[in-house]
Chains A and B, each alone.
Chain A
Amino acid sequence: MKRLDQGGRIDRSKPLNVSFDGQSLPAFAGDTLSSAMLAGGVSLVGRSFKYHRPRGVFSAGVEEPGAMVHLRSGDRHEPNARATVTEAFDGLVSTSQNAWPNLQFDIGAANTWLSPFFSAGFYYKTFIGPFKHSTKFWMMCETVIRKAAGMGRASLLSDPDRYEKRGAYCDVLVIGGGVAGLTAALAAGRAGAKVLLVEQDTALGGALLSDPVGGAGDAWIASVLAELQAMDSVRILTRTTAFGAYDGDTYALVERVTDHLRVPEDAQPRQRYWQVHAKRAIMATGAIERPLVFGGNDLPGVMLAGAVRTYLNRFAVLMGERAVVTTNNDSAYSVAADLARSGALVTLVDMRAEVAADTRARAEKAGVFILTGHGVLQAKGGKRLTSVDVVPVDRGSRTSGAVRVIPADVLAISGGWAPAVHLWSQRFGKPVYDAASGSFIAPEDPDKPLQPAGICAAAASLEDVITQAMRRGAEAARATGATGAPGDSPAAFDTGAFWQNDLSPNWAVFDAEGRCKGKAFVDFQHDVKVSDIDQAHLEGYVSVEHLKRYTTLGMATDQGKLANINALSRMAELRGMAIPEVGTTTFRPPFTPITMGALVGHEHGRHFRPTRLSPLHHWHAENGAQMTEAGAWMRPWYYPEKDEDLRAAYIREATHVRTHVGIIDVSTLGKIAVQGPDAAEFLNRVYVNGWKTLAIGRLRYGVMLREDGFVMDDGATARLGEHDYVMTTTTANAAKVLAFAEHLLQTAWKDLRVHVTSVTDQWAAFAIAGPKSRALLQTVSGADLSRDALPNNHWTLAQISGVPVRIHRMSYSGELAYEVYVPSGHAAHVWEALLSAGDDFELRPYGTEAMGALRIEKGHVAGPELDGRTTLKDLGLEGFASSKKPFVGSVLRKRPVLEDPERPTLVGLEIDGDTGAKAGSLLFAANEEPKGHGDGWVSSTTYSPALGRNIALALLKNGKARTGEEIRVVNFVGGEDLKARVVSPQFFDPEGDRQNG
C-alpha cells in the first residue's frame, strides 16, 4: 500500500496531523481517515464482533463493516466511527476498539478457534445451567458475554456540542448528488421547481469521484453544478445524509456541519437535523457493491473492488503491487485496468466462463491478466492477505480443477451492485426482485411521491442514468405545479469505466461438496458464515426473519448492506427456490447510524421541556423559596428561614397561617373564561352540581367527572356577569379540562352558544389566609370585606395599590381566606404592596407543602386523592351530585362496581407516634396479617401543627363505618409498621367557624 505522487482528489499542499493508535498518518486535506490509514500502511484496523478476527478497511463508504474506531477523546469521544466516512482533519486522534490488550494481540481472537462451538444459535442451547427456578448461572455467563460483546466504548461525559433542528419545504427533494441526482435536480430546477439536493459525501459527483481525476466526468460535474448553482430555486447540501423517509412526505436529514473540524467554533452546531417536507422526492442513491463469498474473504487486504478503485483514483492510494481482482460481472474490470495502469501486477479472476470480447480486450490492453471460469477458493494470510487460492469453477460455482496459488497483497472483489432502495422501502414496504439486474429495486409505480433514478433504479448505462433522471426530474417538477421546460439532457460522456454488465448469479465459491473452504463470511462484522446459514436452515429457521434473528445476520452496524443479498442467495439454494420467493426483510430507518443528539436539537437539559413560570417566579427565587416542579410549572415549595429543613419550614408556615396571615401564589391554577348565553347550561352539564341559580357576584365549588363516571377535576367557578363565568381547575388538569370543554362544544354540543378560553396567563392569583386576612385586605384595598359585605363564596372588585383586582372569598385552608386575582403584569406590584403593607399583620409567604398541611387538616382532596380511580362517593363528594339533571358521567358512574358500598372511601387517620406515616403506606385491620392489597392506602400525610400530631388522609374500605377503629399502617418499603385511629377527614374546625367568620 502506498500513496502515489500524482493524482487523486487530495490537496498535497495541506498536510494534516492525523493519528491512529498513536501512529502518525500521512494525511492531506481531502482524505478520509481510512484513506490516510491505507496511505500510512495500516492494514489492521479493528476486530470483529464475535471471533475478534483481524479486520481492515473493506469499503470506501457507509457500508463499512470493519474499519471502526474510537474517534476524538474526552467529552467529544465517539465510538464506532467508520473510518471510511470520517473526513481527515488537523488534530484527528483515533484509536482501535474491541480489542484487549491491544489490536495486534487480542485475547478475544481465541474465539476464532472455538468457532465450531459458537455456531449459529449456540447461546440458546447452552448456559441454561443446572439450577431450577434460578437465573444465576446464565447471568454469570452473561456477564462475561456482555463484556466481550459490544464494539466501541462509550463515554459517560456530557456532550459539549450544539445541535440544531430545522424545517425545510421544497417541491422536489433530490437525494444523492451523483450523475442521476445532479441531472434530476437540473431538470426540476429548470422547470421552475423549488429543489433541495442533498449528498452525504463532501463533494458532488457520486461514482464519478472514483474516476481518475481530470477526466470527462469532472468537466461534466463542473458544468452541471455551475448551472445548478446559478438557480435561486435550487439549494444544495453536502455532508448531508437523508436517513429516513416518513409519513406526510417528510424526509429526515442530518447535515454534518462541523464534524470535519477539530471542534465547532463560534457557536456553530456540530450537526443539523433537517426535517424536509417535499411534495416529490427523487431517490438517486446509487448502489452498494456486493462482496463475493469464499474462505478468508474477511482478511485485511480483501476489499470491495469499487473501494480499491476509489482509494486509487480519489485518494491516490495504491492498495498493492500484486493485485487479484475477482468478479462475477464487468464492473470490476475498471479497477483491474486502473490498477494495472498504476503499475500493479493484476490478475483478474472472473467466475464467468465467457466475457464480452470488448471488455476483455480493453482490460488486457491495460495490462491485466485475465482468468475466466475461475474463482477464489480462499484468501490466505495472517493479519493480512498474502496469497489467493484460485480454482476453476463450474456454473454452480463449484471447484472443478486444481488450485493455483497467486501471491497478492490486495484482493478486490465484486459480486455486482445492490441498489440502495432503503428510503423507498422504509416508507412503502418491501422492494421487488429484478431478475435483469439481479437485485432488489423499487417497483414501478408512477403515483408514488418518491421515485428512484439512476443506478438505484438499476439503470444499465450512463446514457440510461441521464435519460431516466431527466425524466424523473421533469415529472416530479410537473407534479408540483412547475410549468417550465426541463430543456435538453446534459450530454453523456465516456468515463472509461465498466458497468455491471453480464452479471452472473455466482456469489460464492464452493468445494466439490458444496461448502466453502475455511471461514467464508456473509456478514462480516457479526461473523456470520455460510455454514451458519446452513445450520439455521437445518434447524428449521427457514424464513428470512428467522435466519436474521437466529444468526444475527444483517443486524450489525451496516444493517445488512453487504450481507443481505448473499444470504438470500444461499437461502434460495437451500430451499430450492428462486430469490424472490425467499423474500427479503424490510429496511428500517435510519439509512446509516445517526447521532442521537442531532435529533434532540435544543431539547435537552433544562430545555428538554418548556418551563412555565408564575409572574411571581423571580420574587420567589429572590426571597429564598425552594422551588418544586408541578407538571410544567415551578412552584414555591417552602421558604426556609436560616437553615430550616422542609419539615421545620412548613410547620412554621402553616402555623403562621393559623395564627396570623399567610400568602401563597396560586397563579398556576387553571383559569378558563366561560362566556355566552348558554354558559350556565354548559356548566350544568360538565359539573355534577347545579349552576342555573348562581347569581352574579357569587362563586361555587364544583366537581366534574370523566365520561366513565370517575372524578376528573374540581375547582371553583365564579359568575362575573350575565353571560360571563370564570372557572378554575387544578394546576395539573387545566389543559385537559379546556380541551375536553372545547371538544364537547365543537362536537356533541354544537347548539350551545358558549366560548371557553384559557385566562390562566391573564390572571395571577394569591390566596391570603389566616385570622388577620380580612383586616389586611381591607387595609390595603379600602374595600368593605366584612362578613355581611362579602360572605363566603362571593367575590368583589377592589383596588390594591392602584391595580384593579377581584377578590374571591373562599377558603382552602379552613381559615378566613380570600383569593385575589390580579392582572398578571401587575402581579409582582400587588404582591409586593401586600407584603409591605402587611408588616403590621405579619403577612408571610407560604409554599405548597404548608398549603398541603392546611388542606389535609381540613380534609380537602387534591391530586393524590384525585388519582383517576376514585368516585364522588369514594371522596365524600357524593352530596354535590345533582339528581335532577344529567351531567358528564352521570350514567356510567352508576355501574355496580362504582357503587359498591365496600369501596375504599376517604377517611382521616390519627397516626400514633412521632414519625408520621408515609403516603403510599397500606392499611390493614389491627388483627389482620399484613398481606395482599390491604384495606386501603394512605394518600396524603402531614404533621398537623393545629392538632399537634401526625395525621393523614386515606382511602379505606367501608371507611366511614370504621370511625374510631384502630388500624395498622404499614410501609413495607420503608420498614414502618404504625398504628392509627380512623377519624373524620375534617380534622380541624369541622364546623367551619373559622372560615365562615
Chain B
Amino acid sequence: MIRINCPICGLRSETEFTYGEDASVTRPAMDESAAQPWLDYVFNRDNPRGWHREYWHHAQGCRQWLVLERNTLTHEIGTCRLAREDAA
C-alpha cells in the first residue's frame, strides 16, 4: 500500500489516489506545431529504474494533482508537492 503524504490532506493510502503519468515529460506549449515534441511528450519515456517523478491525483480527497518522487525499484517515497507549485 503506497502511502502518500498529500500536502493538503496528510498521509493517505494510495486507494484514494489515481496514478496519473510520468511527470518528467513536459507538455509542449499550445502553439508548438512540430510533431516531434508532441510525440516525445505523449509516447516516449525514460522509464527509469530508480527515482521517478510522477503525477498522482487525489481524486477521493482534495482533487489536487501532486508530483510525487518514488523509487520504482524499492517503492520508497520521496517528496510530494502540489503540481501547481512544482517548479519543474
A/B contact in complex, CB under 8 angstroms:
yes
User: Smallest distance from the beta carbon of A274 to chain B beta carbons, Å?
Assistant: 13
Given contacts A742-B57, A894-B35, contact A248 B3 (CB under 8 A): yes
Q: Is B1 within 8 A of A247, CB to CB?
A: yes
B1-33 residues at the A interface, CB under 8 angstroms: 1-3, 13-14, 18, 20, 23, 27, 30-33
Would B57 and A247 count as touching, CB distance under 8 A?
no
Q: CB distance A708 to B57 under 8 Å?
A: no
Residue pair A746, B64 in contact (C-beta under 8 Å): yes
Chain B residues with CB under 8 A of A433: none
Which of A277, A742, A750, A891 makes the CB contact (< 8 A) with B34?
A: A891
Residues in B whose Cβ lies below 8 Å from that of A895 = 35
Taking a contact as CB atoms closer than 8 A, the residue among B35, B77, B83 that contacts A891 in the complex is: B35
- The answer to whether B13 touches A248, judged by C-beta atoms less than 8 angstroms apart, is yes
Question: Do residues B1 and A746 form an inter-chain contact, with CB atoms below 8 A?
Answer: no
A471 to chain B, nearest CB (A): 26
**Which residues of A sit under 8 angstroms from B77, Cβ to Cβ?**
248
**How far apart are the CA atoms of A746 and B82 in the complex, in Å?**
8
Residues A707 and B42 in contact, CB atoms below 8 Å apart? yes
B57 touching A892, Cβ below 8 Å: no
Closest residue of chain A to B43, judged by CB? Answer: A708
A684 to chain B: closest residue by CB: B30
* Contact B38–A886 (Cβ < 8 Å): no
Is A364 interfacial (CB-CB < 8 Å)?
no
Contact A892:B38 (CB < 8 A) given known A247-B2, A743-B65: yes
B1's contact among A248, A685, A742, by CB below 8 Å, is which? A248
Contact code string B47-65 (vs A, CB < 8 Å = 1, else 0): 0000000010101000111
Question: A739 contacts B59, CB within 8 Å?
Answer: yes
B42's partner among A742, A746, A886, A892 (CB-CB below 8 A) is A892
Instruction: Return chain A residues, CB-CB under 8 Å to B32.
Output: 886, 891
**B30 nearest CB neighbor, chain A only:** A886
- Given A247-B1, A249-B3, A886-B30; A891-B38 close (CB under 8 Å): yes
Q: Tell whether A246 pairs with B83 under 8 Å between CB atoms, given A739-B57, A747-B27.
A: no
With A247-B2, A248-B2, A275-B1 already in contact, the answer to whether A747 and B30 are too (CB < 8 A) is no
Point out the residues of chain B lying under 8 angstroms from A891, CB to CB: 32-35, 38
Shortest beta-carbon distance, B43 to chain A, in Å?
A: 8
Q: Is A250 close to B, CB under 8 A?
A: yes
**Which residue of chain A has the shortest Cβ distance to B39 in the bound complex?**
A892
Are B65 and A742 in contact (CB-based, < 8 A)?
yes
Residues B83 and A747 in contact, CB atoms below 8 Å apart: yes
Rounded to whole angstroms, the CA-CA distance of A275 and B20 in the bound complex is 25
Enumerate A847-901 residues with CB–CB distance to B below 8 Å.
Answer: 886, 891-892, 894-895
Q: Which chain B residues border A246 with CB–CB below 8 Å?
A: 1
Task: Count residues on chain A whose CB falls below 8 Å from chain B CBs.
Answer: 22
CB–CB B33/A746 < 8 A: no
Kindly list chain A residues whose C-beta atoms are within 8 Å of the C-beta of B65.
Answer: 742-743, 746-747
A157 contacts the other chain (Cβ, under 8 Å)? no
**How far apart sit A506 and B39, CA to CA, in the bound complex (Å)?**
63
Residues of A within 8 A of B42 (CB): 707-708, 892
Count residues of chain B with CB under 8 A from any CB of chain A.
Answer: 32
B84 in the interface (beta carbon within 8 A): yes
Docked complex Cα distance between A47 and B71 (Å): 47
| B3/A250 in contact, CB under 8 A | yes
Q: From residue 735 to 767 of chain A, which have CB atoms closer than 8 A to chain B?
A: 739, 742-743, 746-748, 750
Q: For the complex, give the distance between the alpha carbons of A707 and B44 in Å.
A: 13
CB of A871 to closest CB in B, whole Å: 15
Q: Which of B2, B14, B38 has the most CB of A within 10 A?
A: B38
For residue B43, which residues in chain A have a CB less than 8 angstroms away from its CB? Answer: 708
Q: Inside 8 A of B2's CB, which chain A residues have their CB?
A: 247-248
Contacts of A886 in B (CB 8 A): 30-33
Bound-state CA distance A860–B32 (Å) is 32
Closest to A888 in B: B30
Residues of A703-759 at the interface with B, using a CB-CB cut-off of 8 Å, are: 707-708, 739, 742-743, 746-748, 750
Closest to B26 in A: A748
Kindly list chain A residues whose C-beta atoms are within 8 Å of the C-beta of B33: 886, 891
CB distance from A609 to the nearest CB of B (A): 14
A250-B57 Cα distance, complex, nearest whole Å: 21
A742 CA to B83 CA in the complex, in Å? Answer: 11
- By a CB distance below 8 angstroms, the chain B residues around A249 are 3
Q: How far is the CB of B59 from chain A (nearest CB, A)?
A: 7
Distance (Å) between the CB of B62 and the closest chain A CB? 11
Chain A nearest Cβ from B6, distance in angstroms:
13
What is the CA–CA distance of A707 and B27 in the complex, to the nearest angstrom?
10
CB <8 Å contact, A742 and B63:
yes
Cα distance, A891 to B82, chains bound together (Å):
29
Taking the nearest CB of chain A, how far is it from the CB of B53, in angstroms? 12
Instruction: Quote the shortest CB–CB distance from A364 to chain B (angstroms).
Output: 54
Cα A750 to Cα B42 with chains together (Å)? 19
Contacts of B1 in A (CB 8 A): 246-248, 250, 275, 277
Residues of A within 8 A of B14 (CB): 248
Contacts of A250 in B (CB 8 A): 1, 3, 13
Closest to A707 in B: B42
Query: Is the CB–CB distance between A743 and B55 below 8 Å?
Result: yes
Chain A, residue nearest B67 (CB): A747
In the bound complex, CA of A622 to CA of B43 (Å)? 50
* Docked CA distance A277–B14 (Å): 13
**Which residues between 678 and 717 of chain A lie within 8 Å of chain B, taking CB atoms?**
685, 707-708
Please, which residues of chain B bring their CB within 8 A of the CB of A748? 27
Q: A750 to B41, alpha carbons, bound, how many Å?
A: 18
Please state if B38 and A747 are interface contacts (CB–CB under 8 Å).
Answer: no
How far does the Cβ of B69 sit from chain A's closest Cβ, in whole Å? 15
Q: Which of A277, A743, A747, A750 contacts B3 (CB 8 A)?
A: A277
In the complex, the answer to whether B20 meets A685 with C-beta atoms within 8 Å is no
**Which residues of chain A are within 8 angstroms of B20 by Cβ–Cβ distance?**
743
* Interface pair B83/A746, CB less than 8 Å apart: yes
- Chain B residues with Cβ below 8 Å from A742 are 57, 63, 65
Min CB gap B88→A, angstroms: 10
Q: Which residues of B contact A708 (CB under 8 A)?
A: 42-43
6 A-B pairs closest in CB distance = A248-B3, A250-B1, A748-B27, A746-B65, A248-B1, A247-B75
10 A-B interface contacts by CB (under 8 A): A247-B3, A248-B1, A275-B1, A707-B41, A743-B55, A743-B57, A743-B83, A746-B83, A746-B84, A891-B38
B-to-A contact residues, CB < 8 Å:
1-3, 13-14, 18, 20, 23, 27, 30-35, 38-39, 41-43, 55, 57, 59, 63-65, 75, 77, 82-84, 86
Known pairs A250-B13, A748-B27 / 17 extra A-B pairs, C-beta < 8 Å: A246-B1, A248-B77, A249-B3, A250-B3, A739-B18, A743-B20, A743-B55, A746-B65, A746-B83, A747-B23, A747-B55, A747-B84, A886-B30, A886-B32, A892-B39, A892-B42, A895-B35
